Structure 1
Amino acid sequence: MNYKKKKVITIGVVCELTGLSERQVRYYEERQLVFPERSKGGTRKYSFLDIERLMEIAEKMADGMQTFEIKRMDKQRNATLREKMLKGQINAQFGQRATKRP
């Protein structure tokens, strides 16, 4: 597993690293922009990728974007990625068939 994906960082450390308040980090979670895991005791656990994401969100917010705009951009980006992946799979499928034929 990639170390950047491991959710091991507490919200306090996230705040120290990002300069965001706990309230801001929780708000971004409420708006479904970040998705921390929870320990058995209910403690939020973040990854390094989450920290990068939080910094990206904070920069966009500082530039005047609203959370709904960020979420809409994410959905568009994910749809584009899904489309590219599907096209790649289709191309790979047809490419394999073309090479198997005499």
Structure 2
Amino acid sequence: MDNNQTYRDKKVMGIGIVTEITGLSNRKIRYYELRKLIFPERTPSGTRKYSFSDVERLMEIAEKIEDGVQTHEIRKDIVKKEKHKMIIGQINSHFNRNGYK
């Protein structure tokens, strides 16, 4: 496991558990993956593995879909949030390397 990875980000759950937690069908979850809204890891045998963060994202996606938001709009929002997280991480890394706390 990556040292920066928290328990929330570790991919440990199969799709069956995720469907139980979220109430979403396997088909919907796979569709969200196809639309590049969720990114499960694959085991060598091809089994999808999800994290607690993935479950949270799936719940957010389901709520937005229910509110009428299109998948391409959700994807744009996800990309924007990921870019923001990356920039914040780079800024924090820069200050930590240079002795600022």
Which category of TM-score, normalised to the shorter sequence, fits these structures? 0.7 to 0.9
* Total equivalences in the alignment: 95
SS at match of 2:36: coil
Aligned to 2:16: 12
Aligned counterpart in structure 1 of residue 72 of structure 2, from 68, 71, 78: 68
Give 1:84 shift: 4.5
C-alpha distance in structure 2 between counterparts of 1:78 and 1:7, whole Å: 18
Match status 1:77 vs 2:81: yes
Q: Flag the 1:10–1:86 CA change in 2: closer, same or farther, 3 A.
A: closer
Unaligned stretches of 5+ in structure 1? 97-102
Higher Rg of the two aligned structures: 1
Q: Flag the 1:9–1:86 CA change in 2: closer, same or farther, 3 A.
A: closer
Percent of paired sites with the same residue: 49
C-alpha distance in structure 2 between counterparts of 1:81 and 1:41, whole Å: 32
Match status 1:29 vs 2:36: no
What TM-score, normalized to structure 1?
A: 0.78
Question: More helix per residue: 1 or 2?
Answer: 1
State the superposition RMSD in angstroms.
Answer: 2.3
